[in-house]
Structure 1
């Protein structure tokens, strides 16, 4: 049985948690393969609402093994805070597996993240200040701390000493902050070692053996395509690979075993943080989408920037990821609008672009070319088949499907697990 990847097709917050949870009962493993606690998934099951930041959504599905892959950076305090919160609500987290090769966020990574953003001022990236970027930088600079290092105190201490030789110079002499002591960092990390140890394994081997047995493995992205460090709107991106390619490197599953790529796309567009956003709204329409869609970050609580559906970035995501199926979420938020614009192309200094401009400056100056579709007034939250939707809602889905480069297989019409229309089975 091959592996399946779920990725975000916009700038994140598309509803990947709901889509992963929807498939959870049909899969045996759910793997978080990138990012850290800088993004979140909100999953609604019945009357219960769960906000997950670091844990894979599959942790809410009995019988499904949740896995934190090698491509993730782990804040151990956050990990155990989440685990304790779920356990207190009766969720069994005992099957969680953590890659021995995943990198650990140290206290100095969080400190550097916060002071660097403040130092950048108007040139800031818009990070969450949780140490994600500095930890990935340490990984690439080969001075990072991995989960397995917590079980050899001598190696851990050597690595922390090596990292702090430079970082303390930066903290004290550039940012006028207090130096971080080796002892304090080592003590903080070692405090988690005993509790962490039973969860740690070679997750690449674990998943490879699962696939050999015929188990279904779902690879769950954090963030989204337009935030990918290579393929996103650089430099206003995350520090990891959030695309289907990243699913392979972040889990240790080879690309030849990946058979399906499911991309989540919202019925409009949102973004958190800085960076270009061609369809962004600064008027009452934008506030309407934010209010009705409850567009505030699961992790940060920050209000999301809102805009109309952008078919150009949907087509880009379909191409970059090899999307086989789209899941269109939050269609219900558009109910009550008389007319719904959809961006079909960009105008850059009088030149039409039907695809993403290759040049960052062109994308920054891109103006949306809209096609206007008729809206609907009916409440669609109770719809469970495509035929239940009003004619104009069906026409909207069919048009964005035509523009986006892959079929719209699932449609979300509300926040709950049940508020879903399945046009084409995903598994």
Structure 2
């Protein structure tokens, strides 16, 4: 009996979703990206070899899996082809196993130019700098909402496509030149690059909602792969320090064309501590030797940007919010082994406002986030190694108690625990695909 499984991040991204998707993909027929773009970075480690995917679904390292890029994904065609070729050089041929929604918006060079131009503006009266990846994600989502986006399916009629492309480039060049004093985009170069890969793109383009609904009818298992994390969601995140898409479970339906009643299980992935890249609120952020421990031992550099991730203790208040927003069925805790050797471990269980009032919910307004001080519960750490352990009973007793305490605090089951980067270094208490 097939199942539709959603796997998404519960924090600010970088939770280790790629590994978990790769691990469960042997049970799946399809793995579907439903939002974001090549600002995502999913790291897969198989037998010590690291592969980082940005656009392609993480399950494609399994040769039976078909990868689908849904309409909610903003697609850089150049980066897509580069990624396909990168895997081919590693001996993994995926081009014939990729399906792209004809409604996926195209991310082109003028989107990237605009994104980078905005990030240079420091005067917040002109523009809010949030520390984006600079890859054009925001501008192309803006085009979609403003009804001027170009889509993969538009490439079928190249004459019409060329006309609208010229209009868009003229529009962006006006802004780049007059407001940001940046170099403009050359139309001839853009259309030339598109034409060179047009046939490849169209060969992968199909009706994704029809395929997914037929998969449900045929009892095939589908994994929906989230990018970024819950608190980077455009509607439910720490706005305005968010990404431009819906990273939460609601984005699955709008970004792929499958109905909500077709979803059987939603797995939330969370680190055993917390990280975020870029600017924005972070109540449990650390600036001490524990921060250095998480950074150095956890190798906390962004897989898309190479930027240093900010680190902090696990935030139960935020995690409980993610559970509610996403209707999570269960949790996967990652990077348990990074806590090895810590004498004491803290968990944020509430926030205190400046007026002394304690709250157990996350705020919405950005200024309210600045008024929070975390309230911690301290539990004993462990000196033994958990690295590579594959059975819960083999964990140090203190590590078991840590997991059980989190489970008690959040009120749902912890079904998986990652104890290392490799796909095999995982404790599976419940397989959501079975």
Please give the range of the TM-score, normalised by the shorter of the 2 chains: over 0.9
Which stretch shows the higher mean deviation, 175-184 or 129-138?
Answer: 175-184
1:399 is displaced (CA, Å) by 0.7
Distance 1:178 1:291 in 2: 39
SS in structure 2 at match of 1:191: helix
Distance 1:2 1:137 in 2: 34
Q: Does 1:129 align with 2:134?
A: yes
Deviations 1:220-274 (A, max 9, x none): 0110100000000000000001010001111100111011110000000000000
Matched-pair contact (CA < 8 Å) for 2:250–2:326: yes
SS in structure 2 at match of 1:172: helix
Q: Paired residue for 1:236, among 211, 219, 241? A: 241
Q: Does 1:395 align with 2:397?
A: no
Distance 2:411 2:191 in 1: 49
Distance 1:300 1:136 in 2: 20
1:338 is displaced (CA, Å) by 0.2
* Partner of residue 40, structure 2: 39
Distance 2:208 2:170 in 1: 32
Matched-pair contact (CA < 8 Å) for 2:238–2:364: no
1:300-339 maps to which residues of 2 (within 5 A)? 300-339=305-344
* Partner of residue 62, structure 2: 61
Q: Paired residue for 1:378, among 370, 376, 384? A: 384
1:122-271 maps to which residues of 2 (within 5 A)? 123-271=128-276
Matched-pair contact (CA < 8 Å) for 1:143–1:162: no
* Partner of residue 412, structure 2: 406
* Partner of residue 116, structure 2: 114
Matched-pair contact (CA < 8 Å) for 1:17–1:41: yes
* Partner of residue 355, structure 1: 361
Distance 1:199 1:382 in 2: 38
SS in structure 2 at match of 1:73: coil
- The alignment's TM-score, normalised by the length of structure 1, stands at 0.98
Which stretch shows the higher mean deviation, 281-290 or 170-179?
Answer: 170-179
RMSD: 1.2
1:95-110 maps to which residues of 2 (within 5 A)? 95-110=97-112
Matched-pair contact (CA < 8 Å) for 2:152–2:202: no
SS in structure 1 at match of 2:265: strand
Matched-pair contact (CA < 8 Å) for 1:105–1:135: yes
- The alignment's TM-score, normalised by the length of structure 2, stands at 0.96
SS in structure 2 at match of 1:384: coil
1:203 is displaced (CA, Å) by 1.0
Distance 1:246 1:120 in 2: 32
1:121 is displaced (CA, Å) by 5.4
Distance 1:181 1:376 in 2: 59
Distance 2:238 2:42 in 1: 22
Structure 1: tracts of 5 or more residues without a match: none
Matched-pair contact (CA < 8 Å) for 1:271–1:305: yes
Deviations 1:355-398 (A, max 9, x none): 11243322222111000010001011132111100110001001
Which stretch shows the higher mean deviation, 165-174 or 117-126?
Answer: 117-126
Matched-pair contact (CA < 8 Å) for 1:157–1:182: no
1:161 is displaced (CA, Å) by 2.5
1:178 is displaced (CA, Å) by 2.9
1:164 is displaced (CA, Å) by 2.8
Distance 2:345 2:149 in 1: 48
Matched-pair contact (CA < 8 Å) for 2:233–2:245: yes
Deviations 1:287-327 (A, max 9, x none): 11011001101111111000000001110000000000100
Matched-pair contact (CA < 8 Å) for 1:295–1:304: yes
Which stretch shows the higher mean deviation, 188-197 or 6-15?
Answer: 188-197
Matched-pair contact (CA < 8 Å) for 1:7–1:262: yes
Structure 2: tracts of 5 or more residues without a match: none
Matched-pair contact (CA < 8 Å) for 1:339–1:375: yes
